[in-house]
Amino acid sequence: MTTLNRHGSRTRQRSEVPLDRIILGDCLEKLGELPDGSIDLVFADPPFNIGYDYDVYNDKQEVSKYLDWSRRWMTEVSRVLKPNGTFWLAIGDEYAADLKVIAQREIGLIPRSWVIWYYTFGVNCTKKFSRSHAHLFHFVKHSTDFTFNDESIRVPSARQLVYNDRRANPRGRLPDDTWILRPQEPEAGFNPTDDTWYFSRVCGTFKERAGFHGCQMPEQLLGRVINVSSNPGEIVLDPFGGSGSTLITAKKLDRRFLGFELSPEYVTRIEQRLAATRVGQKLDGIEDARDGGKAKKTTARRRLSSSES
Ligand SMILES: C[S@@+](CC[C@H](N)C(=O)[O-])C[C@H]1O[C@@H](n2cnc3c(N)ncnc32)[C@H](O)[C@@H]1O
């Protein structure tokens, strides 16, 4: 909305942050309506510009157009973040380098981690190696003042799991920056010594699957991002709603939330999902990375759980 100011020129009115809802519309326009410094955490999983078949969005833009658009929405993200805010960007190989340079060098966001989300069940290729990863860039606005709740996402260390070493920190350790998502859980290939992330990609047959969006992110992955980079009651924004999983996860974790989405169909489905979700509800997917995706608990896992209770 624009109004005339007392000098007679037009200024844009920036209203309060609308909370706990998904809003139909273009994120660039909707971000523009948010006040400066009003959001604690932005998680964005934009279209990758690879020709994916979305409901209304055309995912095959000219390279320069896509990059210019990415620059504009990420600049808005930076503006709406609080001074101690955090921005997580999920992006594919095709534009990871470009978007990192834009966010870091042009917009001035400060990189903390470059996480690789390793998954399977990607498209099987025959003339190149099959894609099994996506990039998760973790940026902050301030170099020292930002939320990082390491306690909320710790995993058992090898000292605890393998060596039963009394010197092991009973609080476990931070996960590595490669997050493994192995739906088929090969016991032999990935055993409990891997203190990495055992969350599955949300495949077609999974209970978690909402069923209307092919890019649905796993709640366990989103839970790790939201837990580590925000506190209960703070505001989480997702400019690209998709299936709504960021908002669902934020609600379960007792965060305030806001999402934007271009497709009326997706918005309706997200609203239905949100209405069926309760604060405090368990996240879908493998319950806890500290279980390594396996139900049985080792002594070290039991120790980790009891040290936290
Ligand atoms: C990769 S998907 C997001 C998937 C989401 N992270 C999830 O877990 O389901 C990107 C979404 O952005 C939406 N989109 C594309 N351009 C948009 C824009 N300018 N504003 C808002 N949403 C947009 C698309 O319709 C699509 O649903």
pLDDT digits (tens, 9 = 90+) for 153-176: 887 777 777 778 888 888 888 888
Residue 254 within a domain:
yes
Pocket mutation for ligand 1, best pick of 68, 77, 240, 274 (most atoms within 8 Å of C-beta): 240
Query: What is the 8-class DSSP label of residue 123?
Result: P
H-helix or E-strand spanning residue 11 = strand 10-12
Amino acid 208: pLDDT: 77
- Residue 221 maps to a domain: yes
Q: Which helix (H) or strand (E) holds 247?
A: helix 245-252
What's the gap in Å between 75 CA and the centre of ligand 1? 17
Task: Give the whole-angstrom CA distance, residue 40 versus residue 252.
Answer: 17
**25-37 per-position pLDDT tens digit:** 999 999 999 999 9
In this structure, the residue with its CA closest to atom 13 of ligand 1 is 240
Q: What is the model's pLDDT at position 6? A: 54
Q: Which residue has the tokens 């891997």?
A: 194
Tokens 């260390």: give the residue: 157
70 lines ligand 1 (CB under 6 A): no
268: domain CATH number is: 3.40.50.150
Would residue 256 count as lying in a domain? yes
Distances (CA, A) of 159 to 173, 198, 291: 10, 19, 16
Closest ligand 1 atom to Cα of 240? 12
Does 107 reside within a domain?
yes
Q: In this structure, are residues 136 and 175 in contact, taking their beta carbons and an 8 Å threshold?
A: no
Whether 9 is in a domain gets the answer no
pLDDT at 307 over 70: no
Instruction: Kindly state if the Cβ of 266 falls inside 6 Å of ligand 1.
Output: yes
219-231 b/e (C-beta count within 10 Å ≥ 16 → b)? bbbbbbbbbbbbe
**Does 8 reside within a domain?**
no
Instruction: Return the exposure string of 163-181: e unless at least 16 CB atoms fall within 10 Å of the residue's CB, then b.
Output: eeeeebeeebbebeeebbb
For residue 66, how many other CB atoms are within 10 A of its CB? 20
Q: Is residue 100 part of a domain?
A: yes
- Bigger pLDDT: 305 or 139? 139
Q: Quote the distance between the C-alpha of residue 39 and its chain's center.
A: 15
Nearest CA, atom 22, ligand 1: 261
> Which residue in 25, 93, 23, 98 sits closest to 57, CA to CA?
25
Query: Confidence class of residue 85 from pLDDT cuts 50, 70 and 90?
Result: very high
pLDDT digits (tens, 9 = 90+) for 263-284: 999 999 999 999 999 999 999 8
Nearest CA-CA partner of 118 in 69, 190, 16:
190
Look at ligand 1, atom 2, and give the residue with the nearest C-alpha. Answer: 242
Centroid of chain to Cα 43: 5
For ligand 1, whether the C-beta of 47 sits within 6 Å is yes
Helix (H) or strand (E) holding 138: strand 133-140
Which range marks the domain in which residue 290 is found? 16-308
Q: How many domains are there within the chain?
A: 1
Answer yes or no: is pLDDT of 304 > 60: no
Dihedral over Cα of 120, 125, 126, 129: its sign: negative
Domain assignment present for 54: yes
**pLDDT tens per residue across span 188-200:** 333 433 334 455 5
